[in-house]
Structure 1
Amino acid sequence: MNAFSTQHSLICFFLNKILSTLKGGGLTMISNNMVEGACKDGGRGPSIWDAFSHSKGNIIDGSNGDVAVDQYHRYKEDVELIAKLGFEAHRFSISWSRIFPDGLGTKINEEGITYYNNFINALLEKGIQPYVTLYHWDLPLYLHENMGGWLNKQIVEYFSVYADTCFASFGDRVKDWITFNEPYQTAINGYGVGRFAPGRHECSSTEPFLVAHHQLLAHAAAVSIYRSKYKDKQGGQVGLVVDCEWAEANSDTIEDKAAAARRLDFQLGWYLDPIYHEEYPKVMRERLGDRLPIFSEKDKELLKNSVDFIGLNHYTSRFISHGRYNHDKGDFYKAQGIEKIVEWEGGEAIGEKAASEWLYVVPWGMHKVLNYIAQRYNNPPIYVTENGMDDEDNDTSPLHEMLDDKLRVSYFKRYLSAVAKAIRDGADVRGYFAWSLLDNFEWAQGYTKRFGLVYVDYKNGLSRHPKSSAYWFLRFFKGVEGKYGEE
């Protein structure tokens, strides 16, 4: 949903720099749906998030991403800001409907190609490496309304044409590609509980699993195209970004340990097992039966090892026990047979609370999930592609209070320490992205939550104001900030 430019500002620390006391270069990530805006400019077609956000009751503050933080018109200013803060790379997403307004792939929108070329070139001129995501939840609306979108297997063909076009248009300069960002969220929140676009819920007990299946096949098809047509000449890499809360067993009982394992299978295993082990996790098949689609032998061959790296989006963790978690929220949650817990046995919260109801500060979960991926999937290259916390928007507080984000600074210090610990354990972590560069349109939460290192003044021309966390990273890169938290 490029109109909102899925703003994922990420700061990436490469392996050698993390090991040298975590001093070094950074990546920022922006995904267009949340920052880009310009929903009708430059020949862009509507996405499912345009329609969803304009439907009453879907966005908590009644807002939309039509303008977002207007990066479409202000990208030069933002690139300058990225460079001044010392970041060495920037992750952003391309809007499918800005390249093909109807998503069909029959006529390229040259204005869209020009915009992304200009953005990529501006980054490179400042020595900033672009990391590009092809799909961040923003399906062209035409494909949803006329063929069922991700419910129709034909979507794999349309995504392949779109991916091929991006590789051909930008791959001479873009060397790091991500096919999908958090396909779990599209499947569950989009087609299971209806919290995200296209807002489908209680439609079918099979829809989320069909959507996930088709996204996996589309990912594999795009990777196949890149490897067969572009890799030798362009020399890039392609990965998939998955999201995961760490699941810590609530006790040493067999039941709770099994429940925590199931939770990880239903998050990570759902998407990574088909790539590394040629099938969905056994526990998912046992609990979902024929609601889970079957891979053909051709599908398995296409999916096999179809990533050059894994991108991990991780924010928080939960204690998990065997139980009755969210039975009222649909079959997917009921099938897991778990209960999510946010308190230690004595009643103390698992960590400090951020603004979002789901987000607690639990650095040790980062260490554990990185080691889990390394052990389960034969130590693949990993990029932490999102990690961060939010503040509540408060237009009554003076600006200087909003900029003094002490908890966010502490969050990054402690989570970076956890990443370093996983690397010392042997996990092949290649980079780290902090979420996010700018405050932005936060999906169903609208503008009520602020994840940015940079404050965006929504009432005064969308002016940008770096927070204390942004300056902490700047000092960190320069080697001035020498201390970070230990867990």
Structure 2
Amino acid sequence: MFMQPKQGGFIGIVAHTMMYEPLTELDQEAASRALAFNAAWTLDPLVFGDYPPEMRRYHGSELPQFSLEEAEIIKGSIDFIGVNHYSTLYVKDCKRCNCTLGGDRSIRGFVYSTGERDGVPIGEATGMPRFFVVPRGMGAIIDYIQKRYHDKPLFVTENGYASLEHQQVRVQDLLHDVKRIEFHKSYLASLAQAIRNGADVRGYFIWTLMDDFEWVNGYGMRFGLYYVDPQTLHRIPKLSARWYKNFLTNRSLNTKENKALSLEAIASL
């Protein structure tokens, strides 16, 4: 921050932000707490100079204390917030009842999170466990961050769809990724509503341009708009790449040119 006036930089941070909804009417406070213990844990110190009050309430002196000098340095030290958002989960309050939780329960807000309610998934499954298709969550998390951080500029730095795959999946099927297009259409519509509600969203980035090495999932988890042949590294645009290009240029996907391009890509395999 000390060099920012000279360099003219625009400094921010990115937070991975799931949206949380109460599993039952009794879990409203738990959903709010889950957001604070996840998204706000990262962002509150950099905006307000301290950890979220929701965390102080439950952890008290267990949380580190910032000195006055430290708080002054970090408070207001970011110009924008980057949001990595993929999905939404239900949460159950584990302060009211016993829950089967992992060892990190104290830093997750003392909640139990799940993608199902009464056996019904919160949204359509994807290739990534617990990443359900829940478009309303995009608008909700943006609204939450906008209100908590007083209209600070936002960028959606990651949002993407992992294909549901099996060992015998055909490359042609990977290229015809209609589900990915439906995902981005619905999430962008939710984001647009949040912008209409007043959120200062200045950018949106799809994860990812090309199929990549996804952590422990390696090359078996495909988020990309472009298919990458693992043997030759040849890159082929999927249907979603055509759609996104046309979305950005306000053109229709259903043109003779684009149909011909899609057929050409498949024929090249």
- Determine the structure 2 residue equivalent to 1:54: none
Residue-by-residue CA offset, 1:108-133 (whole Å, 9 max, x unaligned): xxxxxxxxxxxxxxxxxxxxxxxxxx
Which of residues 84, 95, 106 in structure 2 aligns to 1:313?
A: 84
- Determine the structure 2 residue equivalent to 1:252: 25
Contact 1:263 1:336 in 2 (8 A): yes
Contact 1:247 1:319 in 2 (8 A): yes
Structure 1 residue 291: Cα displacement:
3.4
Structure 1 residue 226: Cα displacement:
3.7
Question: Considering only aligned residues, what root-mean-square deviation do their CA atoms show, in Å?
Answer: 2.0
Counterpart residue type for residue 171 of structure 2: L
Structure 2-normalised TM-score?
A: 0.87
Structure 1 residue 470: Cα displacement:
0.5
Structure 1 residue 472: Cα displacement:
0.4
- Determine the structure 1 residue equivalent to 2:263: none
- Determine the structure 1 residue equivalent to 2:171: 399
Residue-by-residue CA offset, 1:79-108 (whole Å, 9 max, x unaligned): xxxxxxxxxxxxxxxxxxxxxxxxxxxxxx
Aligned-partner Cα distance in 1 for 2:58–2:156: 30
Aligned residue for 1:446, secondary structure, equals helix
Contact 2:23 2:91 in 1 (8 A): yes
Inter-CA distance 421–439: structure 2 relative to 1 (3 Å threshold): same
Aligned-partner Cα distance in 1 for 2:25–2:42: 27
Aligned-partner Cα distance in 1 for 2:233–2:176: 19
Aligned-partner Cα distance in 2 for 1:468–1:458: 19
Q: What pairs with 1:451-470 in structure 2 (closer than 5 Å)?
A: 451-459=223-231, 461-470=232-241
Contact 1:392 1:448 in 2 (8 A): no
Aligned-partner Cα distance in 2 for 1:392–1:418: 23
Task: Give ranges in structure 2 of 5+ residues lacking alignment.
Answer: 255-269
Structure 1 residue 266: Cα displacement:
0.7
Counterpart residue type for residue 475 of structure 1: N
Aligned-partner Cα distance in 2 for 1:283–1:425: 26
Aligned-partner Cα distance in 2 for 1:401–1:379: 42
Divergent runs of 4+, >6 A? none
- Determine the structure 1 residue equivalent to 2:7: 230
Aligned residue for 1:383, secondary structure, equals strand
Aligned-partner Cα distance in 2 for 1:441–1:296: 41
Task: Give ranges in structure 1 of 5+ residues lacking alignment.
Answer: 1-223
Structure 1 residue 371: Cα displacement:
0.6
- Determine the structure 1 residue equivalent to 2:258: none
Contact 1:238 1:307 in 2 (8 A): yes
Counterpart residue type for residue 282 of structure 1: P
Structure 1 residue 241: Cα displacement:
0.5
Aligned-partner Cα distance in 2 for 1:464–1:482: 20
1:329 aligns with 2:106: no
Aligned residue for 2:219, secondary structure, equals coil
Residue-by-residue CA offset, 1:419-476 (whole Å, 9 max, x unaligned): 10001111111111111001111112222211101111112x2111111110101111
Counterpart residue type for residue 16 of structure 2: D
- Determine the structure 2 residue equivalent to 1:273: 44
Q: What pairs with 1:124-203 in structure 2 (closer than 5 Å)?
A: none
Which of residues 41, 51, 75 in structure 2 aligns to 1:304?
A: 75
Q: What pairs with 1:1-400 in structure 2 (closer than 5 Å)?
A: 224-231=1-8, 236-253=9-26, 256-323=27-94, 324=98, 327-333=101-107, 336-345=109-118, 347-392=119-164, 394=166, 396-400=168-172
Structure 1-normalised TM-score?
A: 0.49
Aligned residue for 1:481, secondary structure, equals coil
Aligned-partner Cα distance in 1 for 2:173–2:3: 47
Aligned-partner Cα distance in 1 for 2:86–2:3: 30
Inter-CA distance 370–326: structure 2 relative to 1 (3 Å threshold): farther
- Determine the structure 2 residue equivalent to 1:475: 246
Aligned-partner Cα distance in 1 for 2:187–2:15: 18
Structure 1 residue 389: Cα displacement:
1.2
Aligned-partner Cα distance in 2 for 1:331–1:359: 20
Structure 1 residue 230: Cα displacement:
1.2
Aligned residue for 2:240, secondary structure, equals helix
Aligned-partner Cα distance in 2 for 1:271–1:318: 19
Q: What pairs with 1:442-457 in structure 2 (closer than 5 Å)?
A: 442-457=214-229
Residue-by-residue CA offset, 1:6-31 (whole Å, 9 max, x unaligned): xxxxxxxxxxxxxxxxxxxxxxxxxx
Aligned-partner Cα distance in 2 for 1:325–1:354: 26
Structure 1 residue 395: Cα displacement:
5.7
Contact 1:313 1:384 in 2 (8 A): yes
Aligned-partner Cα distance in 2 for 1:287–1:336: 9
1:423 aligns with 2:178: no
